[in-house]
Structure 1
Amino acid sequence: MATTTRPVSDFLSVRSAYAPQFPPSGRTIAFITDITGVPQIWEMPADGGWPRQRTFFDERISGFRWSPTGDAILFSMDTGGDERDQLYLLDNESGEIAALTANPKVMHLLGCWSPSGYEIAYASNARTGTYFDVYVQDMPDGEPRLVFEDDGTNSVVGWSPDGRRIVVSRAESAIYNDLILLDVNTGESRRLTEDGHESAYECAAWSPDSSALYLTTNKGREFKSLARMSIPDGEIDWLAEPEWDVEAVAVAPTGGRLAYVVNEAGFSRLHTMDIASGAESSVDSLPEATLQNARGPGSMDWSHDGMKLAFTVNGPAHNPNVWVVNADTWNTNQVTRSDTGGIPRRAFVSPRLVSYPTFDGRQIPAWLYSPAGIRPTGENPIILHVHGGPESQDRPVFNPIYQYFVHRGYSVLAPNVRGSSGYGRTYIHLDDVRNRMDSVRDLDYAQEWLVS
């Protein structure tokens, strides 16, 4: 059969399903999918079955949270891609939707529910238009209350299971932050960390007894490790210290186990840990891919009984889909089957992880996508793609533009030049301030390597 030359629209029609969450019952799973062309909330049986659409807007849904009682879904949505998210409440039984905020000039950062399900917490720049404060709002129709005012960029991390405290993240730079503990009843706050100018504290998840946070941090070290932070004194116990960044953490509501993800050279590796014994196991039955959402960092969600873990698998040959792992057997199951735009999955190309020497002798990691049977040379068309950030990382996720150009006979080189994340503290700072042009020199050497 002759090879069909496909238009770019086919590749842009490849669909995604991501950001899965279980309701308290655990019988279904909700997620975001762009199956209609616009990201909306859908729901389906947790073990697979026919999906049910829950929202029907012409604007994209950016995130959602199940209520602890399962009777409502809190979600955020912007207008025309302006990133000024407003918050809405979906009644799970009737399907009716109520707007919780209605100021199109203000940005609202989706936060979380209180354990009782009577309140929500979120961050907003309503006070100044610049700084993000924290608000609490009674559900379903209360007025927002300013509970944490601060001239900084703050976001809500999580509400303690005992209902007394909220953890707030305060950004100190593009890559570092501090954690602040806020007493909901008194309004008093204290810093859990004091070194946010040089350390990152991410993915913080409360222990079920509200005595600690499980998180990732590179405090005093090269890579982000898995740690337990005591709430009373802020002391840190190190739980896992791989020679790569730990990029995600999820604690089972039952408290017996947790899951964490390691970013190994760009690929995601899923691990589980018995909290009491520290015994670990890895989940090896997943595709060679990442556990990233289609529109940002990955997230995992445990069912309330701690028996199922949901996440997104996103790889070069695997458009984003929801997967579930069973904690009894550690067997994995792909729950959603997002369409590939009529393109056979075998047509998608996975890259090779390569490296090339640069001006100071360092090796620069890069992903090289090439049409089957073609070795890139200076005589072949090659696209050099530079990721943004600059503190970001090109990873092996599904990229419709890369796939389209490879389909048309191009090769694509996606380097992670100095200043990229994912390779440790030292590497990300190599292009700081006066050294910024060194990352550009890395690109010059990529071109030289390609034609050599």
Structure 2
Amino acid sequence: MRFLTVVAVSLACASPLAAQDQSASSAEVRPPEIPAKAFAARSQLSGAKLSPDGNQLASRSNVNGMDYVMLYNAANGAPVGTFAMGEGNRLNWVRWAGNQRLLVSASAYDEYNRYWTRLFVVELDTGELYSIGRKEPIRDGDNVIWVAEDGSSVLVSLQANPRHYPSVYRFDLTRDGKRDQVQGSRQGIWNWYADKDGNVRIGTGWYRKKLRVYYRGPGEEDIEMVDKIHLDDLEKENETYRYFDILRVEPDSDIGYVFEENEAGKVGLRRYDLARSEVVDTVYEHPQYDVDGAVFSRDGKPVAVTYTDDSSQVVWLDEKLGAIQKGLEAALEEDTVRIVSRSEDDTRMIIQAGGAADPGALYVYTPAEGTLEALGEMSAGVPFEHLAQPKAITYTARDGTPIRAYLTLPRGRPAEGLPLIINPHGGPYGIRDTLSYNSEVQMLANRGYAVLQPNYRGSGGYGDAFFDLGYGEIGRAMQDDLDDAMDWAVSQGIADPERVCLVGASYGGYAAVWGAIRNPERYRCAASWAGVMDWDIMLRHDRQFFSRRTTSRWRNRYEGKEERDFRLADVSPFEQVERLKRPLLLAHGTDDGIVNVEQYHLMVRAAKEQGVSVDELLIEDEGHGFSEVASGEAWFEALEKFLDTHNPAE
């Protein structure tokens, strides 16, 4: 438990509240065992956002399985209100609409296990909570593209029915407020953008292998197609194309801000002439990494950009805010210090500070007074001083490809002959692990395991060439990269080759089970949360969300174009179950709308028929992730018990 108080912040010197240095004694004393329940717990300050005037703070929380919107006095952190989302509604995000109204996105599953989202309004003056938008559930009912500065209305992009492209509607934010369509649908257009005055200016989307862009100039009534770029014009090897994403458009101007990939394959933040479809100038481009985020002021000007090396980094374009960032970093001396929310006039800010070995804490910063007042810890039950510090490593795959990975060693144990967990991330394409706090990794390290998280080929963040290396390599070269990670750890003397298991979720769950089937000589066991067990079934499930052409492109990405004799069944655990010889932990949620629970049931039955040891965990009313604290706790406890049986740390 860290000492939380009010800290005076100088922009020139550090405060005495520095994070504890763990390096000095990490190899000397074993930390106490931290309960799985503590690792699964969540902060009631999750997703904290300041009101525009800086007087109130809204956040998300989950108490006894129910999701709530929490409201606090931003000056002193005192709770002033709670709003229950109702049984079965999962809270996705909270956003301010003026100073006395909140927009809330919630999701649920219908009786056919179809995922939908809906938009709610919380009236802080009356405590009233009501939904807006279509009464019948739709998949994307919370796509807010603009909020009026006074919170009186919003623009929402909605589909009239699943067969139509979305239109844009203006909703008055009252229970019985009127709804007006302000922009009709256009064939192939999925994304609509408005300027800060609430004028719909741009629409983009892919249709019949062509990128369509509709544009409305300032003050113009009609919106017209300005670009119809054929995929072949942008296509590179393996059906990837130049990255282009519209972020903002300036009112009374043809100039907007976009993320755009240049000819060298580098994504930067650029000013863009939307009428002429050409770059005006580059606002920021990192020499090595893609820009992956941007922060804008209320008037639509960029004030910061972010990129990711091993962890997320921020570059402030606004000098004043940049100076504040430096002062906060000096005062808190944490690995990561972020300004996560600001009042409209920057008189109050919410600061989050932590690191890969520290879930962190939230503070209220008042620049005029130069003070940081602690709001609370993000995981109060996890003593950060007992956590393990991950580090970045690079190993070479068997084909010579360098692979970046993150290694977490248990504290208080020599880094020799340790039991090892290979922990592949989900996705798989375009997703990556970073050097950031991971409760599952920390729980495993706390139990005495070394944990290695490889960013195997196809992962995001390492450029197009590395991404394309994963094309057609599910279950093959992607899996080789995991095996090569194990070989690296063994060659370094860190891991005992007789005590290695695979643990993962989603695609990572698939990779864990497939690794145990493909290479039983390497792995003692495998544990999967919500893993894919049959790729053909997975693609059939995805058809309800994708067009025929998109489904075909996904299959091509999975299988690869060159080897038409290759079948996904060749790398599907269910289809290869007769090769399974290792113990499994299979876990899933019954309401998973991404990887259907059918995958779990098929594999459990098939494994039992082969006489393989299977630990089962089926969580009712749970989705692809852990919407309830109890679900995460159940997974951690089942995983701990399974590993203790089949790959004990001692």
Q: One fold, TM greater than 0.5? A: yes
Q: 1:388 to 1:253 in 2, by over 3 A?
A: same
Match for residue 56 of structure 2 among 24, 28, 36: 28
Aligned to 1:90: 122
- What's the CA shift for 1:409? 0.6
* Residue 238 in structure 1 maps to residue 282 in structure 2: yes
- Is contact 2:196–2:299 with CA below 8 Å preserved after alignment? no
More strand by share: 1
> What is the letter of the counterpart of residue 247 of structure 2?
A
Q: 1:250 to 1:380 in 2, by over 3 A?
A: same
Q: What is the CA–CA distance in structure 2 between the aligned matches of 1:412 and 1:172, rounded to whole Å?
A: 43
* Residue 393 in structure 1 maps to residue 437 in structure 2: no
Q: 1:110 to 1:440 in 2, by over 3 A?
A: same
Q: 1:255 to 1:137 in 2, by over 3 A?
A: closer
> What is the letter of the counterpart of residue 101 of structure 2?
A
- What's the CA shift for 1:95? 1.6
* Residue 380 in structure 1 maps to residue 412 in structure 2: no
Partner of 2:168, secondary structure, is strand
Aligned to 2:155: 121
* Residue 145 in structure 1 maps to residue 143 in structure 2: no
* Residue 204 in structure 1 maps to residue 242 in structure 2: no
* Residue 76 in structure 1 maps to residue 105 in structure 2: yes
How many residue pairs match? The answer is: 435
Aligned to 1:247: 292
Which residues of structure 2 form unaligned runs of 5+?
A: 1-28, 492-650
- Is contact 1:289–1:313 with CA below 8 Å preserved after alignment? yes
Moved more, 190-199 or 352-361: 190-199
Aligned to 1:295: none
Q: Counterparts in 2 of 1:314-333, with a 5 A limit?
A: 315-319=355-359, 322=362, 333=372
Spell out, residue by residue over 1:374-431, the C-alpha distance to the aligned partner (whole angstroms, 9 max, x if none).
3545x32111011111120112333221111111111110011111111122222221
> What is the letter of the counterpart of residue 188 of structure 1?
I
- What's the CA shift for 1:18? 3.7
* Residue 162 in structure 1 maps to residue 197 in structure 2: yes
Q: What is the CA–CA distance in structure 2 between the aligned matches of 1:254 and 1:324, rounded to whole Å?
A: 24
Aligned to 1:349: 388
Q: What is the CA–CA distance in structure 1 between the aligned matches of 2:189 and 2:67, rounded to whole Å?
A: 27
Partner of 1:392, secondary structure, is coil
Partner of 1:443, secondary structure, is helix
Q: 1:16 to 1:216 in 2, by over 3 A?
A: farther
Moved more, 301-310 or 413-422: 301-310
Q: 1:209 to 1:367 in 2, by over 3 A?
A: farther
Aligned to 2:314: 270
- Is contact 2:31–2:386 with CA below 8 Å preserved after alignment? no
Q: What is the CA–CA distance in structure 2 between the aligned matches of 1:109 and 1:180, rounded to whole Å?
A: 22
> What is the letter of the counterpart of residue 95 of structure 2?
R
Partner of 2:444, secondary structure, is helix
Q: What is the CA–CA distance in structure 2 between the aligned matches of 1:289 and 1:349, rounded to whole Å?
A: 16
Q: Counterparts in 2 of 1:300-315, with a 5 A limit?
A: 301-306=341-346, 310=350, 315=355
Aligned to 2:325: 283
Q: Counterparts in 2 of 1:423-434, with a 5 A limit?
A: 423-433=462-472
Spell out, residue by residue over 1:260-315, the C-alpha distance to the aligned partner (whole angstroms, 9 max, x if none).
222122x122221149xx99769344432486xxxxxxx95543225555575564
Which residues of structure 1 form unaligned runs of 5+?
A: 292-298
- Is contact 1:273–1:281 with CA below 8 Å preserved after alignment? no
> What is the letter of the counterpart of residue 282 of structure 2?
W
- What's the CA shift for 1:161? 1.8
Moved more, 418-427 or 367-376: 367-376
Spell out, residue by residue over 1:20-61, the C-alpha distance to the aligned partner (whole angstroms, 9 max, x if none).
433332322323344666553223344442133442124321
Q: What is the CA–CA distance in structure 1 between the aligned matches of 2:66 and 2:220, rounded to whole Å?
A: 40
- What's the CA shift for 1:371? 0.8
Q: 1:177 to 1:449 in 2, by over 3 A?
A: farther
Partner of 1:250, secondary structure, is strand
* Residue 107 in structure 1 maps to residue 128 in structure 2: no
> What is the letter of the counterpart of residue 64 of structure 1?
V
TM (normalized to structure 1)? 0.81
- What's the CA shift for 1:113? 3.3
Identity of aligned pairs, percent? Answer: 20
TM (normalized to structure 2)? 0.58
Q: What is the CA–CA distance in structure 1 between the aligned matches of 2:197 and 2:432, rounded to whole Å?
A: 37
- What's the CA shift for 1:352? 0.7
Q: What is the CA–CA distance in structure 2 between the aligned matches of 1:44 and 1:179, rounded to whole Å?
A: 42
